[in-house]
Structure formats: C-alpha cells, structure tokens
Structure 1
Amino acid sequence: MRFCELRQKEVINVRDCQRLGFVADIEFDPACGKICQLIIPGPGKLCGLFGRESECVIGWNCVRQIGTDIILVDVDGEMAQRRCGEGICKNG
C-alpha cells in the first residue's frame, strides 16, 4: 500500500465511532522502515485558513484494520484531541 492510498482513507475510532479525519502524514522509523504513527490534522481555526489548533497522533499499534475506504483505530476518545507530538494510544 502506498502513502497516497492511506491519505484517501478516513480514520474512525472503534470505541465511540467518532470520525477522526483523514491521514495527513505518517511518522516512520528510518532504521527499520516501519510506520510508527499516523498523523491526522485537527479542525481548522477559522474556516481552515489560519492553520490547525491540534492534530491527532495515533500509534501504529492502535490500528485495528485497514479497509478499502476507512482505517479503524482503537484509541481513548478523550485523548483523541491531543496536541501535536503526543501519542494517544494506550495499547502497549
């Protein structure tokens, strides 16, 4: 699967069925080449013109399934609105 294919998939939390958004970026380990985290932008400040307030950073181990048009993740709903750089997955 290519990154451009991941960007077309909506991320949905299986705990509360909340739509988290679409994948904007990924973080990977350059030593082994594995994906570490999915990065999903938060809502825009003013009609999306002045940047984003926050973004969701979801650990790859939180991904439960990748379908044809969605990615299912298992994350704590309250933590899904964390700021940039803070992982939100509680699963080891």
Structure 2
Amino acid sequence: MVKISDFQIKDVVNVFDGKRLGNIGDIDINLNTGKIDAVVIGGSGKVLGLFGRDEQIVIPWKDIIKIGEDVILVRFRDAGNGNYLETEVK
C-alpha cells in the first residue's frame, strides 16, 4: 500500500530531457474504478509568488514509466507554446 504523502515527496523527472518537473501536488482518481487516472504537478511560483503561478502539469498514469524510492520517471514533452504529452506509438 502506498500513501499519497509518499508520492508528494518524490521528485518527478522527465525522461526526454532529464529535467525535474517538480513534485506531485494532487492526483486524479476515477471514482468509478478507484484507480488513479493522472498525477498533477503544481506550477512553480513566480517572483516570490506575487504574480501568479505557472500552469499545472497533468500527467496521465499511463505516461508514468517508473516509481522509485526517491524519483518518479515520466514521459513529458514541452512544446514551447504549450505543454503536451507524447504517448507511445503502437
């Protein structure tokens, strides 16, 4: 069994560029199935938090590659003009 607080202390790292995206601030749970649909990484504060926050990053559960002791590896691609996820082509 894993607690939500265990997820929140892990760093989320993008496997495309190795950058740290942040920490999980929230999770999206499907109430019908009881399964996690996505994790939400909170936006970082701007100028001491006075001028708002960056957009949140929502990563579908299927794009989480590995959950380790200290880090969560995810597939995430930043398009420059907006964030999008790159999914595997099958």
TM-score (normalised: structure 2) = 0.83
Percent identical pairs in the alignment equals 36
Which deviates further from its counterpart, 31-40 or 41-50?
Answer: 41-50
Where structure 1 has 5 or more consecutive residues not aligned to the other structure, the ranges are: 83-87
* 2:18 pairs with 1:17: yes
Give matches, 1:77-88, under 5 Å.
Answer: 77-78=78-79, 82=83, 88=84
User: What is the aligned-residue RMSD (CA, Å)?
Assistant: 1.8
Q: Which ranges of 4 or more aligned residues in structure 1 deviate by more than 2 Å?
A: 48-51
- Secondary structure (helix, strand or coil) at the match of 2:57 reads strand
Give the alignment's TM-score, normalised by structure 1.
0.82
* Number of matched pairs: 86
Q: Which amino acid aligns with 1:27?
A: D
> Which structure: larger Rg?
2
The separation in 2 between residues aligned to 1:49 and 1:8, in whole angstroms, is: 25
**Would the aligned equivalents of 1:16 and 1:77 in 2 still touch at CA under 8 Å?**
no
Between the aligned partners of 2:27 and 2:15, the Cα distance in structure 1 is 20
The answer to whether the aligner puts 1:91 opposite 2:87 as a matched pair is yes
Instruction: Give runs of aligned pairs for residues 38-53 of structure 1, distance below 5 A.
Output: 38-49=39-50, 51-53=52-54
